Structure 1
Amino acid sequence: MTASLQPTSLVDPHPEERLVLVAGAGRLPELVAESLDRSGRPFRVLAIRGFAERPMRARAEATVDLLDIAGALQILEAWGPACVIPVGGVSRPNPAAILNAAAALRNRDALRAISGGGDDRLLRGALVLLEDNGHRVVGIHDVAPDLLSPEGQLGRLAPDLAARASIATGCGILAALAAYDVGQAIVVAAQRALAVEGPEGTDRMLARARALGRKPFGLGTAQPGTVLVKLAKTGQDLRVDLPAIGPRTVKAAAAAGCAGIAIQAGYTLIIDRDATVAEADRAGLFLIGLRIEA
């Protein structure tokens, strides 16, 4: 399998305005596409085979194998976009994503340069490769700011004094750890760090916090003022790793005994905002956006 184009013209009548959304896995590419639709910005979709979900595959004007770097660059060169927006995950491919051994062999030098360090290394390497080939790469925060958290209380509940004290503690700890490239999130209980996010991600960190903050098997009462704080790291490339939460995060935070979640306004993506806020209200958690300059 090689890069394949659906029957459309490769000549873009407005290249200075056109965006290209490179769609990976998950619902996020669809949300970004809907945001671009609302704003009236023209864009094309380049879907990654084996990753892009059905709605994005249906909108795609081209499909490319993850390993076919030359094919992807050829399509982008033909389209001549003003900028490229990589959106969605590439960490759990189905078999269709890894069948193209010929593409891997043809692009082995480029693949060797960007692999070998996990998903973050892969994404950063892909951005450098795109930029080296003359493409301007932007993030979701640049083109779909309506998907980011606003400032202030988002649900019907507000943090109490104990929770506010823990939020302040969490912000301070994350700021101090930013220089060491630690994760974006922390669970604070009674103003003490209970769990700090590492490479495992927020959900697994919350599972660890649940085991640490309660009795065995996750039973018992959580400590007062238990909160999840999630912020962008200082100097972080938001095109690669924009902080994000969604309904699943809220459920995991509730299971960990959190009274609420504090996120960075303007720098945190809320996936399915209405559903996320509704889940927080249902679970009895506050959800608040903090104004903190990154």
Structure 2
Amino acid sequence: MSLQHNRTLDILSKAEKGGYGILSQVCYDAQSAIALVRAAERTRSPAILQLFPVTLAYGNGPFLNFCLYLAHQATVPIAVHLDHATDPEHLELVLGLAEAGIAFDSIMVDASHAETDEGNIIIAKPYVDRALKLGIAVEVELGRLEGGEAGLRMISDAKLTNPIKAEAFIQGTGALILAPSIGNLHGSYLKPPAFRLDILDELHAKFKGRIPLCLHGTDELPDVLFVECIDRGISKINVNSWARDPYMKCLAEGLQTKPLPDAIEEATEAFASVCERLFILFRSAGKA
């Protein structure tokens, strides 16, 4: 299959040229996926519906099929992405589904746990090659983010991205999207984040128009830092708890007092309202 009309790459390319960011929102269930699409259509924003491997393993092909149909039939451009595919069983699952005709638009082949950048390349490249042949764009991480999220491997030894090594790393893996480590982390920040924005500047100067940059570790970031990262070249912004936590709180409270359909609708709107705020903050609203 060809990457010529790949949804993720098309969405990110337009975002970089237009100077806005794309919300890549983690969805855990049908309601959150519906909420993201609903919010994107209301604000006329492109978006990325993102799954974790644990969710894919739980729902398997039927849930992925649901997400693909939901995203691809939307009236705005929405791609479906698999985040942090690290373990061989998850990578084999996603590639096997793609070979059977149920393919993500893009996946992250995450070998950042390797001891060296060279080790990262050795682990990632075979999977990247297989994914590209199936028309799936691939994201990789240069350096290593600390922390962990739902169902993801816990990392305790962060390593900043070295921009000097970035070109060789991208060429070595064959990947098309780069996630840098700039002081960002997965989970809660114990102190205010101190991002190395100079690393973003170097990477953007090196890859502008060729390789989109993705920001991980966005829980609890102040709005001003989101905007600054977009201004310095970030086009894909991974978000998890910002929408997830209000959704779960609203659903848990609603189930105590409301009929199930009403509780689900209220929680769906709670998720959607966060997405709408982020579309506006990232300047993607009205860009679809």
Give the alignment's TM-score, normalised by structure 2: 0.31
Higher-Rg member (1/2): 1
Higher fraction of helix: 2
Higher relative contact order (CA 8 A, sep 6+): 2
